[in-house]
Every structure is written in C-alpha cells, then in structure tokens.
Amino acid sequence: MISGTKIKTFTDNIMAFRELVHDEIHPMQMVAFLEVMSTLPLTVSANHLCERFGISQASASRHCRVLTDRAGPNRKGYDICCWVYEPSDHRTKYLELTEKGRDLVEILNKRFK
C-alpha cells in the first residue's frame, strides 16, 4: 500500500504543475511535457507518445498540440513547446521546448529537487 505521505507529495507536485502551466492541464499533457524536457532533441512526436504510452494517434496529436502556442483554430495552447521539423523529412515533426518551456523546466527542477 502507498503511504499517505507519498500520495500527498505526488498530489502536491501535480497541483504545483497545474498552478505553473494551467489549472486544467491533462495528466498526459504533463507526461508529454516531462518527456520533452528529459529526452534528446528530435525525439518526442505524436508517434513517440503513441508507442511509449499506448495512447491513440488522435489523443497523442491533441496532447502535443495543446503544449504549443495553438491548440486548435480558435484555442490557444500553453506555449511551452513548439514544433520542429525533421531536417531530412519535413513530414515528421517533434516537440521542442520554447523559452517559456525552458523557464518552466528551471522552476520544476527547483521544486522537485
């Protein structure tokens, strides 16, 4: 059984992440952002999230889009990531941290030490 202390710490960290980014951020969007911040460049794409976490292509694409500046035609994203195209194949794009995303990484690193 998981201790109450560990559950509280986990919950506090999720709430801190929500406070820093958006109060309705989806857990998979948090996971996608953590994946971008902790992997090599040109790694995290919608396909990467599908394969790594077993989610549908549509869901992965939606979670990726909301991390960028534009979640949809009339909906702003969180602007913590941006799309970068594969240099050798412009059909493939990956998430990369924006300046706002890099600032968030610094804050999260301090918080989660």
The domain ranges of the chain are 4-111
Q: What is the mean pLDDT of residues 12-25?
A: 90
pLDDT of residue 3: 86
Model confidence over 62-111: pLDDT tens digits?
999 999 999 999 999 999 999 999 999 989 999 999 999 999 999 988 87
- For the CA atoms of the chain, what is the radius of gyration? 15
Under a CB-based contact definition with an 8 Å cutoff, are residues 97 and 105 in contact? yes
> How do the residues of the chain divide into helix, strand and coil, expressed in percent and rounded to 5?
55, 20, 30
> Which of these CATH numbers, 3.40.50.620, 1.20.120.450, 1.10.10.10, 3.40.50.1100, describes 4-111?
1.10.10.10
CA neighbor of 27 nearest in space, from 15, 39, 36: 15
CA distance readout (Å), 77 to 4, 54, 63: 34, 23, 10
